Amino acid sequence: MRHESIPESLDSILQEFKSCFTKPSFGNFAHLVSGWIVCRGRRWITRVLSVGGVLGRTHHSRFYRFFSAARWSPDKLGHCLFRLLLPYLPGIIEAMVDDTLCRRPGPRIFGISMHHDGVASSYGHGVLACGHSWVVLAVRVPLVGSGKSDGWRSGKSGASGTPPTTPPSVKCEGAGRWRGQCRSSGSCAGS
């Protein structure tokens, strides 16, 4: 069931992710995504809900629980998004991996650990810091009609430079096999 604050065109895209969530969680996901798209500036959850037109209709704690306690898998959601993007990707897929240390000291922060801090470390002197280590896998999508695989430009106005060496890029030659599996499955539920 579509909520009147979510445009029909966006709802048709969001329906592709329905198998990744329970029914109540999918409704929360749809409201968060639609509010996130429309929101300008900082995207705090309460602000996203206010811009999305949901804040007065239901309590905001429901959306905070979506991130802390709802049954859904970020991995399954990412796989579903990748499956939707496959028709737009080239034959050889480039994946980029990056990790970022988010320092969070304190006795009541869930899931923190000691990690190598690449920013504070120097040659011969490694530094450990307390916090979360966020690892991101990104798929490089070529710019349409440019023939280039990225839009990176140097800090000089109008001058093209060479892209930075980090994050490392990995070419996935075996993606054709995965591409066939993803295209043959009708929904993300079995993927």
Domain boundaries, the chain: 8-71
The single-letter code of the amino acid at 5 is S
Closest listed residue to residue 191, CA positions, set 27, 19, 15:
19
Give the pLDDT confidence of 115-136 residue by residue, as tens digits: 888 888 888 888 888 888 888 8
Query: 190 CB contacts (<8 Å, ≥6 apart)?
Result: none
Query: Given this model, what pLDDT does residue 171 score?
Result: 43
Give the pLDDT confidence of 72-102 residue by residue, as tens digits: 888 898 889 888 888 878 778 788 888 888 8
128-140 β-sheet, strand order: 113-116, 128-140, 93-103, 169-172
Query: Given this model, what pLDDT does residue 39 score?
Result: 84
Task: At 159, give phi and psi (nearest 5°).
Answer: -100, 130
Give the pLDDT confidence of 143-180 residue by residue, as tens digits: 666 555 444 444 544 445 555 444 444 444 444 444 44
pLDDT mean over 7-17: 87
Query: Given this model, what pLDDT does residue 17 score?
Result: 92
Chain mean position to CA 53: 23
